[in-house]
């Protein structure tokens, strides 16, 4: 009977150990089977009705987005949060962790369908729960990357964001099990980058876009940019100025677009991958809306008359127009300009 020497045995064991580290990363949060529901028309979109798909935009660079994006986006129907991932020789960087367990686990499954390499980083483009809540399901060795203002905002306003998300996406979508997660890497206005092994990923800050702490994730070699909510979706979708400051949003979106090569691919916060020129509609809307509100203020109109006056027929078509334009964007802009 053949026997292995102790040295050979040690080498064999070490070899087994080496291959074990390449085994698929374990996500205990995703042990259960998904359970899909019908869309609830009361919500902008229903998290547990969403099916995500991935698309390889460049070698090792993938977008993740709502399966219905090509049909619903141009029709003005709101879409689930988009994200994606970048695969390097040393591991994976994921963009966004999604709003709840089921969407987080769908995103992780899409990563694991393409690679056995472990997820090492998750970048959140903003503080909003539909981009960050899934962080709670990450193993401890995954580093959460956020702009420092996003990290501070989540720490101070977590309960408020949970309430907003439950009001708009349902109290029956598992949002009640989310807990706040502190960022491991806090990004300053100067940005951050990481070499994943053969591919570099940047997290860029261009100034206020939809929140004070927006990050844009860019892969220079692939010319792929994730925008988060700052550029929410294609025409006829319009920006959600939940924190106001449309003037700064217009300046930032214009700068983002100008910084990109024309053949870049832009993954919006809620939609399918697009050309940079697709940002024209959001930028044009912001300019027209701000100019319209300024004229109304100059004419002495009150808020109600301003909402009626700034109807922007060229920019209508988004299913959430009556909420986002009339109840959020125009009132916030009116309050800022009527001082």
Residues of this chain that bind Zn ion (CB under 5 A): 81, 128, 130, 229, 269
67 phi, psi to nearest 5 deg: -55, -30
185 or 242, CB closer to Zn ion?
A: 242
Q: How far apart are CA 279 and CA 224, in angstroms?
A: 14
List beta partners, residue 85.
62, 94
Q: Report in angstroms how near the CB of residue 231 gets to Zn ion at its nearest.
A: 11
48 or 81, CB closer to Zn ion?
A: 81
130 or 250, CB closer to Zn ion?
A: 130
Checking phi first, is residue 315 left (phi over 0); if not, alpha (psi -120 to 50) or beta? alpha
Q: Report in angstroms how near the CB of residue 268 gets to Zn ion at its nearest.
A: 10
286 or 293, CB closer to Zn ion?
A: 286
Q: Report in angstroms how near the CB of residue 305 gets to Zn ion at its nearest.
A: 31
Beta-carbon contacts of 20 under 8 Å, excluding residues fewer than 6 positions away, are none
Q: Report in angstroms how near the CB of residue 310 gets to Zn ion at its nearest.
A: 24
Q: Which of 44, 31, 98 is nearest to 269 (CA)?
A: 98
Place of tokens 């809620």: 270
Is the bond into 236 cis (omega within 30 degrees of 0)? yes
Beta-carbon contacts of 236 under 8 Å, excluding residues fewer than 6 positions away, are 74, 76, 281, 315, 316, 317, 318
62 or 169, CB closer to Zn ion?
A: 169
Q: Report in angstroms how near the CB of residue 232 gets to Zn ion at its nearest.
A: 7
81 or 135, CB closer to Zn ion?
A: 81
- Contact status, residue 126 vs residue 215, Cβ threshold 8 Å: yes
Q: Report in angstroms how near the CB of residue 325 gets to Zn ion at its nearest.
A: 17
Q: Which of 192, 166, 267 is nearest to 224 (CA)?
A: 267
266 or 301, CB closer to Zn ion?
A: 266
Q: Report in angstroms how near the CB of residue 316 gets to Zn ion at its nearest.
A: 22
Beta-carbon contacts of 204 under 8 Å, excluding residues fewer than 6 positions away, are 191, 215, 216, 217, 218
């Amino acid at each position: 009977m053949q026997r292995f020497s102790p040295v050979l045995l040690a080498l064999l064991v070490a070899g087994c150990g080496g291959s074990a580290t390449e085994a698929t990363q374990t996500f205990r949060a995703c042990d259960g089977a998904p359970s899909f529901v019908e869309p609830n028309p009361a919500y902008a979109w229903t998290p547990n009705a969403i099916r995500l798909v991935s698309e390889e935009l460049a070698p090792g660079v993938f977008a993740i987005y709502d399966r219905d994006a090509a049909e619903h986006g141009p029709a003005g129907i709101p879409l689930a949060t988009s994200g994606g991932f970048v695969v390097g020789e040393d591991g994976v960087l994921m963009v966004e962790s999604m709003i709840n367990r089921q969407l987080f686990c769908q995103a992780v499954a899409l990563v694991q369908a393409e690679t056995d390499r472990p997820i090492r980083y998750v970048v959140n483009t903003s503080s909003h729960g539909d981009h960050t809540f899934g962080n709670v399901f990450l193993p401890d060795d995954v580093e959460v990357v956020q702009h420092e203002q996003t990290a501070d905002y989540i720490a101070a306003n977590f309960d408020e964001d949970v309430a907003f998300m439950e009001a708009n996406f349902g109290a029956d979508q598992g949002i009640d099990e989310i807990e706040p997660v502190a960022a491991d890497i806090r990004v300053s206005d100067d940005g951050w980058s990481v070499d994943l092994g053969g591919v570099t990923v940047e997290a860029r800050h261009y100034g206020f876009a939809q929140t004070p702490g927006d990050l844009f994730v860019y892969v220079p070699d692939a010319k792929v940019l994730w925008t988060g909510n700052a550029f929410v979706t294609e025409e006829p979708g319009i920006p959600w100025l939940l924190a106001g400051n449309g003037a700064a949003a217009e300046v930032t979106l214009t700068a983002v677009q100008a910084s990109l090569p024309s053949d870049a691919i832009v993954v919006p916060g809620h939609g399918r991958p697009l050309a940079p020129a697709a940002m024209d509609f959001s930028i044009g809307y912001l300019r027209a809306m701000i100019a319209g509100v300024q004229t109304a203020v100059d004419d002495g109109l009150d808020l109600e008359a301003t909402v009626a006056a700034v109807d922007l027929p060229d920019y209508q078509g988004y299913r959430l127009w009556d909420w986002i334009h009339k109840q959020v964007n125009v009132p916030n802009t009116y309050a800022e300009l009527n001082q």
